[in-house]
Structure 1
Amino acid sequence: MRLRGTWSRVARSLLAPSTSDCLICGKKSRASSELTGVCKSCQASIPWIRHPRCPKCGRHVGCPDCSRGSDPVPIICNRSAVAYTSGMREILGQYKYRGNERLGPLLGLMLDQAYTILQSERGQTPRDGGSKQRHQFIPAFKNKRTRLWQADLLVPVPVSDSRLAERGFNQAERLADVLSRRRGVPQLPLLVRTHHTGKQSFKTRAERLADMKHAFAVNPDPAAGSQFACWLELSGQERGGRPLQIIIVDDIYTTGSTIRACAETIALWAAGFGCTLEIYSLTWARS
């Protein structure tokens, strides 16, 4: 009888939903099947942007910025995983400013949802079958087989040296790392930040746009340039290949001034190689 009771308890424990300490609320709760390390309750409360209202910037509500803007925008579109609510602000604050680096993989996994949306919107295009080769900077369109749209390269938004020293990491680079591993798309640090622009959240839209002018430059490291040049040669651009699909990765999209400045720098540099680009951006949150 005692043995039978023991086996019954074992069976019940195996069949019972697993519980763990949630990365968001810290409580021991039933784990979500969609997000590793997050409880079902917190997962259900995440303000996902599944159907962007603005087709350009990916905003989930009405967007006066895109509707009133007359200047050409250097990206095709932005897509964000979540709306930047107070709850999401707290999560990002724990990660960026309070050293909770356990949240990094979770934020990257959430960003992957934005990639899924972008991918479904772009539809099917000619792609190669060699996803295992993409980490060697071999472009994703070597043959004509049709597959779901795939980016060719991820470019994280750089942080200043002072910010890097303060935090110890670049959050955009870490987000791109997760996305790169999940999607088989290489990332390359093509850009550097030329000067520290200060905290953007306290500035007006006009101040942010002014701040971002000349805030980025091409990475002077010869290794980055040679990798990109080699990658372009393999792409077949000199033979009239299709535009390279590049995604800029960052944590938050507010006015788009950071993304715009990065995209303009990348496009200008790539033009010197005689290649054409289609630039997109993915951000974890849209304010």
Structure 2
Amino acid sequence: MRVWKNWLSVWRETFFSLLSPMKEECLLCKQTSSDGVKQLGLCGACYMRIPWIRTVVCEICGRGERCFDCKRRHAYFSKSRSAVRYDETMKDLLARYKYRGDERLKTVLGQMLMHSFQLLEVNREALNGKFEIKKEYITFVPVSDQRMHERGFNQAEQMALELGRRVGIPVVSLLKRSRHTDKQSFKKRIDRLDDLEHVFEVDDDLVHKYIKSSSATSFLIYIIDDVYTTGSTMNQCAKILTVNLPIEVYGLTWAR
């Protein structure tokens, strides 16, 4: 009789658990909830805290407020768009992924990057066919060998692969880093410019394979990075790609 009761108890728990909403752990606050926003793996409360950039004020860098950086330098990229403002919540999210190695978050950030792409698509549609896209590729800001050894992955590459899978655009590694640099987030704008000079170069083999040997006559390249601060990194990468190549560059970053 006791065995029967134990079996009945287990059966009832299993039956009612199937009827109850599936509870999942939020990737941000790690609380268990049944009202999770499944497409991002976040609970409703954390999803509401995402500071999406809804309105673009600077047409060049996509900033949601007045921008002074774009007025004082030549941009080698046509436009750049970011998904969110880089507030304290987003800083914590990126730190967990980028510095503490929680690679589950690559899916979250990659999906959020779709918002950047959609903001850019609106502007491209507004061009009314002023240019013809022959070939599109997604590439990403490379990291140094030292940084790759420290982290074990390139966050920009992982986000690029996630975005490419969703929008159906091939991801190719067109850039490489010729030397290691210290973290740019702690430097002033002028120091960033000096530090990034001659840091990036094209991967000749892949550029020949996908660009020079292609039958297409013009290309549109999306460069992916995690955070756009002053745009120095994005601009240097775009500069390298547009020199002597029939390439138009657009930037897509997760945060601004």
Q: TM-score, normalising length from structure 2?
A: 0.87
SS of 2:243's equivalent in the other structure is helix
**SS of equivalent to 2:102:** coil
Q: Which one of 22, 29, 32 corresponds to residue 26 of structure 2? A: 22
Q: Which residue of 2 aligns with 1:265?
A: 240
**RMSD of aligned C-alpha atoms?**
2.3
The structure 2 residue matched to 1:47, chosen from 44, 48, 51, is: 51
Does the 8 Å CA contact 1:188/1:224 hold for their aligned counterparts?
Answer: no
Q: 2:197 aligns with which of 213, 226, 229?
A: 213
8 Å contact from structure 1 (residues 153, 188) kept in 2 = yes
Q: 2:90 aligns with which of 88, 91, 96?
A: 88
Tell me, yes or no, if the aligned pair for 1:23 and 1:37 is still in contact at 8 Å: yes
Name the SS for the 1:61 alignment partner: coil
SS at match of 1:152: strand
Give the counterpart of 1:280 among 241, 250, 253: 250
Counterparts of residues 1-287 of structure 1 (less than 5 Å):
14=19, 17-29=21-33, 30-33=35-38, 35-67=39-71, 69=72, 71-123=73-125, 141=134, 152-220=136-204, 222-223=205-206, 225-230=208-213, 232-233=214-215, 235=216, 237=217, 243-270=218-245, 276-286=246-256
Displacement after TM superposition at 1:10 (Å): 5.6
In 2, are the aligned partners of 1:218 and 1:269 still within 8 Å (CA)?
Answer: no
Q: What is the CA distance between 1:226 and its match in structure 2?
A: 2.0
8 A contact 1:17–1:31 mirrored in 2: no
Closer, same or farther: CA 228–244 of 1 in aligned 2, 3 Å: closer
TM-score, normalised by the number of residues in structure 1 = 0.78
In 1, distance between residues paired with 2:247 and 2:179? 26
Paired AA for residue 184 in structure 1: G
Deviation at 1:52, TM superposition (A): 1.6
Q: Which digits, 9 at most, give the CA deviation of each residue in 1:76-105, with x for residues without a partner?
A: 111001100011011100001101011011
User: Are the equivalent residues in 2 in contact too, given 1:97–1:167 (CA < 8 A)?
Assistant: yes
Q: How many residues align?
A: 242
Amino acid at match of 1:277: I
Q: 1:59 to 1:140 in 2, by over 3 A?
A: closer
Structure 1 regions of 5+ residues with no counterpart?
127-138, 142-150, 238-242, 271-275
Q: 2:198 and 2:206 mapped to 1: Cα distance?
A: 23
Deviation of 1:18 after TM superposition, in Å, equals 3.7
Q: Could you tell me how far 1:17 is from its partner in structure 2?
A: 4.6
Q: Is the 8 A contact 1:65 1:255 kept in 2?
A: yes
Q: Is the CA contact (8 Å cut-off) linking 2:174 and 2:206 kept in structure 1?
A: no
Q: Name the CA shift for 1:17/1:41 in 2 (closer, same or farther; >3 Å).
A: farther
Give the aligned residue type for 2:147. R
Q: Deviations over 1:104-146 (max 9, x none)?
A: 11100000111011112211767xxxxxxxxxxxx964xxxxx
- Contact kept, 8 Å, 2:133 with 2:220, in 1: the verdict is no
